[in-house]
Chain A
């Protein structure tokens, strides 16, 4: 298992170097009728965050302004486990953390419980 994790890290780092981008640390949560994505993206101006949401994905791109990293931008593309309503998206960026909240697309019919 440790070897699998090491290999994952190696490939991630090499891809970041080759493509000049950083994959931010992120968490994806499901809560009731919402999907919540948080991503740790320090060194970003809020106005420069390019956030795009489709029915089953969230994509985030933003320039990373830091002398420390050779990489130039953050890039995160998440395939979502369920379909969402893109018009319901709310997003905020606070102290280096981006939070995106979207509502799941709920279909079906309501059934009365006897």
Chain B
């Protein structure tokens, strides 16, 4: 019954394609993603980690609803949404925020592909809007797993809190929900951040946590030292992401959920 439902849902999502330019063989992958979102925290954290870990491009995601744009880096032509790999680590990075119209089908397709890799863990990175961020020296990190056991395990790392109540809007929420439906261990990692200003300080806290979780060495000092340049460089992406966040009712993350069920 569940398989039939998933098959029915996949009809109409054919315009989204995950392309492996190198076959990704193996199992037990750990995947993290950094689609532009609150404070560009996930985007900054994921791209910093992928760079520092020496990950290489192994695929991309195409979607008809994405704008007809290519990225150009050092003379190389790149798709907007790319997949990187180092050993059993995979990263999904994007140069554009995901339009509200394809958040659900894109999340479905990504997790359908992730599921085929028999992953050990899928990590989605983002900021949690904090109106008083200017008063916070060291942003707190929160975690929410697709199962209470995963949340408990992820919450054991010192200095991290469990995300208990609230809303998660947009692609981050939908990826988490797909993880629950498909029984993929999916972990949402959030750090207090500015809502619509690029926040490298918050991204650094996310990187510190994920590095501990994955038991890898990633020095955040270069990220913090380049914070001013990053904020300037990412200003236009933040502006576009702010517009998209309106489309997915991102402001709901600032609200409290109802008291009862």
Contacts and interface: CB of A to CB of B under 8 A. Distances in A.
Interface residues of A, number: 21
B196 A5 contact: no
A42 B231 contact: yes
Interface residues of B, number: 20
A9 B197 contact: no
Contacts of A92: 134
Given A95-B201, A99-B134, A43 B196 contact: no
A64 B134 CA distance: 20
B252 interface: no
A76 interface: no
Interface string A5-29: 1000100010000000010110100
Contact of B232 (A27, A66, A95): A66
A3 to B, nearest CB: 12
Mostly, the B contact residues are: helix
B165 interface: no
Mostly, the A contact residues are: mixed
A9 B239 contact: yes
Given A66-B232, A69-B232, A40 B239 contact: no
B85 interface: no
Contacts of B242: 25
A5 B99 CA distance: 13
Contact of B134 (A5, A38, A68): A38
Interface string A30-42: 0000000010101
A96 B227 contact: yes
A25 B227 contact: no
Contact of B240 (A9, A22, A24, A96): A9
Nearest to B137: A95
A110 interface: no
A26 to B, nearest CB: 9
A112 interface: no
A96 B243 contact: no
B228 A40 contact: no
A42 B227 contact: yes
B133 to A, nearest CB: 8
A42 B201 contact: no
B129 to A, nearest CB: 11
A69 to B, nearest CB: 6
In the A-B complex, the 4 residue pairs with the smallest Cβ-Cβ separation, listed nearest first, are A40-B197, A42-B231, A42-B228, A43-B228
6 contacts: A9-B240, A25-B242, A42-B228, A68-B229, A97-B134, A97-B197
Interface of B: 134, 194-198, 201, 227-229, 231-233, 235-236, 238-240, 242-243
